[in-house]
Chains A and B, each alone.
Chain A
Amino acid sequence: MQQNSSCASGKPCSVKEWIEFRLPIFKLIDGAVGSYPAPRNLNYWWNFGSLAGLCLVAQILTGVFLAMHYTPNAAMAFNSVEHIMRDVNYGWLMRYMHAVGASMFFAVVYIHIFRGLYYGSYKYPRELLWWLGIAILLLMMATAFMGYVLPWGQMSFWGATVITNFFSAIPVVGEHVLVWLRGDYAVGNATLNRFFALHYLLPFIIVGVVILHIWALHQHGSNNPLGIDVKGPQDTVPFNPYYTIKDMLGIAVFLVLFSYLVFFQPNLLGDPDNYIPANSMVTPAEIVPEWYFLPFYAILRSVPDIGIPGFFTLVSAKLAGVLLMFTSILLLLFLPWLDNSKVRSARFRPIYKWVFWLLVIDCLTLGYAGGHAADWGVIFVFKTKFIPDLTVARLATFYYFLHFFVLVPWIARNEKPLPLPESIATAVLKDA
């Protein structure tokens, strides 16, 4: 794109050149998804980033259309959602796409994160990229939590009550923070209204962080399954057409699964109790969050009072559970330093590879435990009351922190990795 092109000083030029001269948007797009060099050996686990972007756009679009018909007032919210389902043309479609889309968004993002854990995508020089990803995850969790409150069903109301109660665990100011957050002494109309405002706002903040996330990614380019740096153009292919078409294939497969759920099993991942209007006088038999929060719910409930039973409590179970739950996500910020092995990809890290899969099983176990009662899955009952029962949730929680604080640092500093290939190109040509 020459600055002294015919577009300068009003000389005739094409529409594209006219725009490009004033706002180089085409160069930007080409630089991002056109001739942008990407490693030639990416596998299908690399599709999940673009799928996450698709989910974000889908949630915003369906959400805006839902907001045109939804009323965020406690007396009318539940019925306004049913109005959308019954009277608004294709309202049921918007609603189910939004509800199923939220689950899909988390599924896709969790797989995207585990891809990062396996291939060392969080390591130098992508630490900040990783942090931006964690920020996106936290914003998503806040957005999803507030969104679930909006239909004002039983789970909406009681989930809001349980989760906002966390803040009373803060020493000294906890109760005041709780009332300030809720807008009232209990979860009610004030809470619902502000959750709607924030639920509408946060996705656009997520868009901003996603832009930073992609900007950071493009600084050093994508990681790849071998975990070794790109050494030259022989190691890369232009994003278009290779990854544009591959991403489109990934999107097509995703849409098949998404559409099956939306059209044939829209309530599979939901809780029947949320089709009962919120009632502050009736507590549901089990208060359970949506599936994507279950592992954190298990961690939250697994912690007993810290102290000596019958004598004193150093840290209440509530506060300890909340702290442990937030730590389970925030520890990811330190991962590039906990795992300081110079080798990125688990393909060349025989011990880490198996430990990674143990982590996956552990997270699935935590999720399963989170869906059951807090006292479910007792493995061992100690004879003394000073040690709490060992449950599946407690064991899985313990293992989760053992993984990140003990296993991963030890493996990084003591593992003998396999020899790395010379370059991506030589490895790819060898496979061919």
Chain B
Amino acid sequence: MLRTMLLSAVALTAFLGIASHSSAQEATTLKENVWKFEGMAGYVDKQSAQRGFQVYKQVCSACHSMNLVAYRNLSKIGFTEAEINALAGEKQVPDFDDKGQPIQRPGKASDHFVPPYPNEEASRAANNGAYPPDLSLIIKARKGGPDYVYSLLTGFATAPANESAVAGKYYNPYFAGHWISMPPPLSDNVVTYQDGTPATVDQMARDVVTFLQWAGEPEMEQRHEMGIKVLLFLIVMTGFFYVAKKRVWKSLEKK
């Protein structure tokens, strides 16, 4: 029994090691951070997420869509219904009137975030052929997740001498190929935080990563909460079945 458990543990470690290993090695090691949303007790810092939304709205949304997030979802990070209606109302949304004619109407809470461009072609045309990706799932869609996005946002630098410049692009060692079409989006105080927090590049990067993490996994806190309860129950149940199994099998020794 012990041997089985030991071998299973070895097999499991090997399996998880192989399974979670990715083939691509990062050329540049990502900046490591301790995020409040990581780990079994991870949670979304609502204040940080709200500041992150402000960064998205005032800086990123000029080029990046977030088509999977609806304005009503913002209540989960602490926005009131009035604030959400106001935010949605700022934007115009294509719709049809009662006669079936295309119109533009103010956004509602049930609308998804209004994208900066109507389609990919328009986006590319406005961005020198590059397509700023949708950010709804960006944290889950990149190896390294939050650390990658944080490193990218804070990693713009002057190119070293041995890397020849690429026209129209900017040097960032964290981006595959090192040359990214996005100009450095963050600089100190490009946004004035409503809660008075100093808007350093580092602070804004952290806040926007927290916001994007929430946007990509809005169910996370509920998932963690349920998970703790489920695991505790199952561990107790396992203990119960272990004792029961031992008792049932004990009766065999007398035969």
Contacts and interface: CB of A to CB of B under 8 A. Distances in A.
Contacts of B12: 257
B248 interface: yes
A257 B15 CA distance: 13
B141 interface: yes
Interface string B224-246: 10111011001101100110110
B143 A85 contact: no
Interface in A91-122: 92-93, 96, 103, 107, 111
Interface residues of A, number: 53
B164 interface: no
B238 A260 contact: no
B23 to A, nearest CB: 5
A380 interface: no
Contact of B23 (A96, A286, A364): A286
A286 B23 CA distance: 7
Contact of B11 (A111, A260, A288): A111
Interface residues of B, number: 50
B241 A252 contact: yes
Contact of A272 (B142, B245, B253): B142
A313 interface: no
Given A256-B231, A263-B226, A267-B140, A86 B68 contact: yes
B133 to A, nearest CB: 8
B57 interface: no
A285 B177 CA distance: 11
B249 A242 contact: yes
A120 B160 CA distance: 61
A253 interface: yes
Nearest to A367: B18
Interface string B120-155: 000000000000010011001111010000000000
Contact of A249 (B4, B141, B223, B245): B245
A259 B234 contact: yes
A269 B16 CA distance: 8
A57 B28 CA distance: 44
A280 to B, nearest CB: 13
A43 B1 contact: yes
B181 to A, nearest CB: 14
B219 interface: yes
Nearest to B218: A86
Interface in A284-338: 285-286, 288, 291, 294
Interface string A216-252: 0000000000000000000001000110011011001
